[in-house]
Chains A and B, each alone.
Chain A
Amino acid sequence: MIRSTNPFAKEPRYELVARVLRSNIQRGTLPEGLVLLEGPISRLMQTSRVPVQAALRQLMTEGLVHRFDGRGYLVGPDGLSIAAIRKDIAEFKLEISDAVDDALQTRGTWRHVYEQVEEEVASCQIFGEFRIVETELSDYLGVSRTVARDVLARLQERGLIRKSASSHWIAGPLTARTLREKYELRSIIEPAALRMAAPFIRYSEVEHLLELIDSDATLTSESLSDALMECCIAHAPNTTLVELVRSNMLLLSSVNRALTSLGLPHDEATLDQYRTLFDLIAKHPIDSAVEYLRDHIQISAARNLARMKIVAVISESGDFAPYLVPQ
């Protein structure tokens, strides 16, 4: 992969939009009382409305803009009864730093919209089966059909969508069986990969992870799962097996993120298990770590099946993105 040297290249698009608006408000380029509307901003920044909405919400929580009785937001803090100024934002000479401008311009690829779409597609599946309409998707994102197709290809690779017999893109329904099968596969291939990787694991890296678990309270089970992959399993010399492990995990991690975004409680009980696992890898014959990993995967499977049941409580709001059509 080609890595960009631009520090903003990996920032979500809404952050970039927020960054531009924030600096121009703080500098006084955008005066107090100016009405900020999504449409003109998205035209100016050459982006869709979704990141603009997110950016404006973000600025509202920062107290830089506020809601008022009309459409859009007013520049300035709430509660000062500032009079509304209605002017096109294009009339103000907005300063956009070269790096941000560059980051905004080079976002014509699927990457900047992918995460949002993945979350929407993964979460809708708990409610049933959906068809994805490609033209609606590109309109919704404000991107070309080519970019929309890139996004869909990536979703297919993750196992989140599939083609129906009539060549429609179909998502869901997400079932316990899907999860169970993925976990069964995990418990077969991951212990095998770990055993193969054992001679190539750098123990200092694993010991560093152990220190982190004890000192860094912000570590999540998701990041530890990534660390297990990168520092241990990925060292297995059988690259086909490593790829299989990676691709099998893709759907599970998307689903996990989607369920958390729907408001399901976090699963924090696994931190201890990672501590034990890394300890076994660093300090004991690999057999014990392999067995422990198998157990750990089975426990994760049971936890995730339990999570699949409790999503039944979440009622369907009917508020799906326009490109998702319930079947």
Chain B
Amino acid sequence: MPAPSENLAAPPRMHDRRLRVRGTSITLLRQVQEQAEADLGFRVDYELLDFPTCQRRAAMEPQGYDVYEQCFHNLDIVWFWGALQPIDIRRITQWDNISDLAKQGGISKYAWRGLGDAPVRKLYVQPGGFLGPKPSRQISMLPTVLNMDSFGYDPLIFGAGDAVRSSWAWLLDARAKGRIALVDEPAIGFFDAALAAEASGELEFADMGNMTIAEINALMALLEDRRRQGYFCGAWVDGDQAARLFLDCGVAAQSMWSPVYGKIGPQPGAFVEAAPTEGYRAWHGGASLSRHLVGAELDMAYEYLNWWLSGYAGAVMARQGYYISTPDLSRPHMTVPEWAYWYDGAPTAQDLYGPAGELVVRAGARRSGGTYHERAGRIAIWNTVMDEYNYAARAWDRFIRRIHDAQLTKDGAA
């Protein structure tokens, strides 16, 4: 049989309807993908990348994906590379049901907004192609999943029980020396370190959400000093690495993402999620449209975006400890105990399971920090890409490289 030639007319066949989604481990879950394909009737291909790679490739190779699932703070990079197109909110059927936390900036009119890149500050497309909080018909990213992050700690060192008042300062605490780890992402871990430095009283920032060069230098000098003293045992980029640091290296205090508590298994009391007195470091995820989408492909992308808010995906997110921008639509997709534990902060009477059916919460446990409203009302800062991000990110990368190099030397010597 002759090799197919470009000159031959294509045989008549059904067009392969396929949507390509580029994103991170936050949202690219098999359970979401399979249900989306079943409900929407087209293929959904996932390309799962770590944060920095995802961001770089989304900015520089917009032809490689149709929908980009990432966080709002990341828009300062990808939007200004010109990789995305605005989303028309008239085509978002559940727009009115999206929470005020995303659309107004706070859980209520009177709640503290948090420093840095609150999603509303990057949500609406403003004149001149800028992003800002003033409502318009076009948005940069459809708000979906979110959480308020903190860190985990070893109660044998810092104390157990409800009376313990945890503080970000513990990430620089001498009691945990040699057993501290940070998340390696300059728009995330950088602020865990900044919160720790301010909480411990060692540094003060005029605006932590937009630091000056001098403040960045001071923070990096402080971290480097602690690193030389051997405070840090590692840094991680995804949940699996974070879990390994706990299971294999016995970290006593480290940045944490909610699903990691599930990954280390239900070990009641072994590693406690902090509800820091200073407040949380929050983030808001979402989905954006690639610049190249038009016609039928654009329609498919809108179908997928609307599906994301319709309930099922939000329930899957809840099982790994994340909230959704349309909680009322997701509630019917959760069991009563699931809703009570994850959203209402009530003690659970039964074991709870994660997205893949793994046991993540034992009966009797209560979510740290209380209800969704309590947690969302205590946001100290959002993950942020500051004005001096380029400078801070490169300084941060050098710091992390030195942590890893020191670990390698240590492992080599052992």
Contact = CB atoms under 8 A, between A and B. Distances in A.
Contact of A175 (B59, B77, B128, B388): B388
A308 B390 contact: yes
Nearest to A312: B390
B389 interface: yes
Interface residues of B, number: 23
A217 interface: no
B56 A313 contact: yes
Nearest to A268: B82
A312 B389 contact: yes
Nearest to B393: A312
A309 B387 contact: yes
A116 to B, nearest CB: 24
A173 B391 contact: yes
Given A175-B213, A177-B212, A313-B55, A306 B128 contact: no
Interface string A115-126: 000000000001
Contacts of A309: 76-77, 80, 385, 387, 389-390
Interface string B61-91: 0000000000000001100111000000000
B130 to A, nearest CB: 6
A138 B107 CA distance: 61
Contacts of A175: 213, 388, 391
A265 interface: yes
B128 A177 contact: no
Given A128-B394, A302-B130, A310 B81 contact: yes
B60 A313 contact: yes
A306 B76 contact: yes
B129 interface: yes
Contact of A308 (B130, B212, B387, B394): B387
A311 B388 CA distance: 11
A176 B81 contact: no
A305 B186 CA distance: 18
Nearest to B210: A176
Interface of B: 55-56, 59-60, 76-77, 80-82, 128-130, 186, 212-213, 385, 387-391, 393-394
8 contacts: A175-B388, A176-B390, A177-B388, A269-B129, A299-B128, A306-B76, A307-B80, A312-B393
Q: Which 8 A-B pairs have the closest CB atoms?
A: A176-B387, A312-B390, A306-B80, A312-B393, A313-B56, A309-B389, A265-B82, A176-B388
